[in-house]
Chain A
Amino acid sequence: MLKKTLGLAVIATVAIAGQAAARDQIRIVGSSTVFPFATTVAETFGNKGNFKTPVVESTGSGGGLKLFCAGVGDAHPDITNASRRIKKSEVTKCAKAGITEITEVKVGFDGIVLANAKTTAPVKLTKKQIFMALAKQVPINGVMVENPYKTWSDVDPSLPNTKIEVLGPPPTSGTRDAFVELAMEGGAKKFPTLKALRKSDKKAFKAIAHTIREDGAYIEAGENDNLIVQKLVTNPKAIGVFGFSFLDQNSDRIQGGVIGGVKPTFENISKGDYGISRSLYFYVKNAHVGTVPGIKEFIAEFTSEDAFGEFGYLTDKGLIPLSESERNLIREKATSLQNLKMM
Chain B
Amino acid sequence: MTDIQNQTNKAGWPTNGANKILAKRHRTERNFRRLGLTAILIAMALLATLLVSIVGKGYSAFIQTTITLDINFEQEILDPKDTRSPETLKAASYGSVIRNALRTEFPEVKSRIELRRLFGLISKGAVQELRNAVLANPKLIGTTRAFELTASDDVDMFIKGYISRDVVEQDRRIKNNEIVWIDRLQNQNAIQTRFNTRFFTGGDSREPEVAGILGAMVGSLYTLFITFIISFPIGVMSAIYLEEFAPKNKLTDVIEVNINNLAAVPSIVFGLLGVALFLNVAHLPRSAPLVGGLTLALMTLPTIIIAARASIRAVPGSIRNAALGLGASKQQAVFHHVLPLSLPGILTGTIIGLSQALGETAPLLMIGMVAFIVDIPGGVTDPATVLPVQIFLWADSPERAFVEKTSGAIMVLLSFLVFMNAAAVLLRKKFEQRW
Instruction: Give A residues with C-beta under 8 Å from B.
Output: 2-3, 5-6, 8-9, 13, 16-17, 19-20, 25, 27, 29, 32, 35-36, 38-40, 42-43, 46-47, 49, 52-53, 55-59, 75, 118, 223-226, 243, 245-246, 248-252, 311, 317-318
Contact = CB atoms under 8 A, between A and B. Distances in A.
A32 B173 contact: no
User: In which size bucket is the chain B interface?
Assistant: 35 or more
Contacts of A13: 290, 294
A43 B284 contact: no
A9 B230 contact: yes
B173 A249 contact: yes
B368 A47 contact: no
Among B284, B294, B379, the most chain A Cβ lie within 10 Å of the Cβ of: B284
A58 B371 contact: yes
Interface stretch (B27-35, B71-79, B232-240): B232-240
Nearest to A227: B395
5 contacts: A20-B285, A42-B372, A75-B283, A249-B399, A252-B164
Given A5-B233, A47-B127, A226-B398, 18 more contacts: A2-B237, A3-B233, A9-B233, A20-B285, A36-B206, A42-B372, A43-B374, A53-B375, A58-B371, A58-B393, A75-B279, A75-B285, A226-B397, A249-B398, A249-B400, A252-B167, A252-B172, A311-B116
B118 to A, nearest CB: 15
A225 B90 CA distance: 39
Nearest to B90: A49
Contacts, number: 114
B403 interface: yes
A29 B173 CA distance: 31
Nearest 10 interchain pairs by C-beta: A57-B371, A6-B233, A39-B372, A56-B372, A53-B374, A9-B229, A40-B206, A252-B171, A252-B167, A55-B383
A36 B128 CA distance: 21
Contacts of B309: none
Interface string B392-416: 0101111110010000000000000
Nearest to A229: B398
A317 B206 contact: yes
Contact of B370 (A39, A58, A249): A58
A245 B173 CA distance: 13
Contacts of B417: none
Nearest to B207: A43
Nearest to B127: A47
B290 A25 contact: no
B1 interface: no
A269 to B, nearest CB: 16
Contacts of B234: 6
B399 to A, nearest CB: 6
